[in-house]
Structure 1
Amino acid sequence: MNKKLIIALLTDGIYPLQLGGMQKHSYFLSKYLSQNNAIIHLYIPQVTTIQEVANTSNLNLENDCIKINLVPLPSVRKFPGHYLFESYLYSKNVYNILNNNTQPDLIYIQGFSGWHLLNRGTEPNWKSIPTIINFHGYNMFQLAPNIKSHFSYYFFRQAVLQNIKKSEYVISLGGKITSILQAIGVSKKIREIPIGIEKIWLKDSALLQPNLSILNFVFIGRYERLKGVEELNQVVCNIKEDFQLHFIGPIPENKQIKGLPKVKYYGAINDENRIKEILRGCDVLICPSWSEGMPTVILEAMASGCAIIATDVGAVSEQVDASNGILIQPGNKPELKAAIERMIALPAEQLLEMKKASIKRVEEKFLWDKVAELTISEIKKIIENRS
């Protein structure tokens, strides 16, 4: 039997205890890598007990497949740049616990969780252990939606650069993320690995039927300026054709469209089965973000049999092309309006082919079983290159 790899996974939270793309990714990495002959030493914030983590997350803690290390969270007053300072202090706490544990074969760093470790990477006890870092979206290197974001991005860029240049390898989700990393000079370090989705999301494409009624569009996400809700609101109010738009997520009342029957708000939904139900009743997901990594919501919509309208940012082009949707430029309201109108005017059979193409692409590239195998394969190559 092959020796099991020991992988230290450093992260700032884990789903469902913490919500977010990186936290959900950390959960599924732990789950599926541990099913692929790896032992995961998971470092997460100390917001509860290990037993509560086990009960809530349903992770396999038996036979030490996943060993959880709870890391104290620093308490920092809010001031300009407090998030970065807090992240560094958290990474220091991670390092102190990691330093007293069994040395792993590789250290997988999510975001800023390994910042202090990377600063100590020349020490003899760490020099022999390869590190790989994943910042997911690299939003701070993408187009900012306003001046405030533009200035905050500057400080984040410096911190991210410091981390990725000290890590031995860097993960790209593909698409424009790879171009960003190449532009900042880390080409030789890049390993392209997408995010994944579980098989339970897949809709049987044989059950898809041409839509003979009005088209149902859906937006999923919290309200945040870079998510493009303002642009979507303005465009929706100027489309005369019949359609229905469903908003899933905590959209503040003052950001909601009033008096338009074709728009429906559900608020925040934590039940994945309910989200799946709504998605399977919709035809097209709209994701008009100014910047993204590889949105899980796009994969969930694709797996549910939706065509996609999305901005060509981050790694979205790995998920969406002309076969299953329309890519537009961020912040471009005329393009967004034209894309929605084109979907409405599309012959039912052509839209059906787009929806089937979405399901097929998820099956071929984005199921967690395959993503985990690819991740393990890349990790083994990295370790072998060190031998």
Structure 2
Amino acid sequence: MTDALIKRPQIDGLRALAMIGVLYVHYWNKAPVTEYVRVTLFFVISGFLITHILMNAKARGGHILVRNFYIRRALRLFPALIVCFAAAWALNADGFRDSAAWHFMPTSNIYFALSQEWHPWVVSHLWSLNVLEQFYLGWPLIILFLSEKTLHVVVVAGLAVLVFVHANDTHLAIDRWWLVLVFAFDPILTGALAYLLQRHPPPVRQVMTSHFAVALAVAMLALPLVLWDGFGHSDSYRFFAQPAVAVLVVGAFQGYRGPIGWLLQSPPAQFLAMISFGVYVYHMMVWYVMAEAFPVLYTPGPLTFAVLGTTTIVVATVSWYAMEEPIGRLKHAFPVRRTGPKAIPVSAAEPVTAATEPK
């Protein structure tokens, strides 16, 4: 079995962790000291896997159908989003109708950057999905037309520019809202770079997945727990977290052994990963509907986390089996790669994962 054909369940396990992080931050603790890790994990996994899918399709030859890539993304993302938007429109949740066009496009991140407020808050979490969707617009074309060696240069150059922008936003007169919500591609590029690096000969992968590298990555992510208050929300931690998370993603891609591997591959983790995109999309609307009926749930804490977390998982499960999974089967009609007169489904090159896109 080739590398392209192997399922990566431990990556799905990381998706489940990211999803739990979303619910914890929104329903329980709005400002944990390691808050940035969940956003970084989402972006790094996404950049890593999208690059993996496209690079494998390209490496196996044939004609790359970029249009079908976009269709497949739409089939995965739009069903749950349409249901969420329909509910928000019907209830006019937090004045959703006034800015609905921005969220339909989707450019919620730009709208929030322009307005400089999280209103309507029921779709405020979609900024991260929008950043990823905007990345999707150009990245497939870049992979299609550039060599792998040139891709390394493009990714490193992109990271250098974004690090410079984030480190010098004051001198560049870039508003913080724009910096965080629009100039946010660096962890996605970090994920892409991590995938490109692990494609190198075995010694490179061995270094990236060594016990020392994993221990150092965990230590870097834990720094806010031992350093001063506020470090976890600083740009310094932002830059530390990205390579640390990338090391953990590469390790999961190659496969951890022992308790960590078992936990990431466990049935509960795989189930949560499967429904994770629905959890991400619906959880703020679930909060709005439930809290309007029971105002005590507007207060984050253990009770809110338990009640709303359970409700959101139930809603996402119904959505998956009743709508998302059946519609997702249509992706087989839109292969990303075509050889000769007959199209070959991309499922042979695509890990069987559920796209989760947490804030």
Q: TM-score band (shorter)?
A: under 0.3
For the pair shown, the structure with the greater C-alpha radius of gyration is 1
More helix, by proportion: 2
Q: Which has the higher contact order (CA 8 A, sep 6+)?
A: 2
Q: TM-score, normalised by structure 1?
A: 0.25
Q: Which has the larger strand fraction?
A: 1
TM-score, scaled to structure 2: 0.26
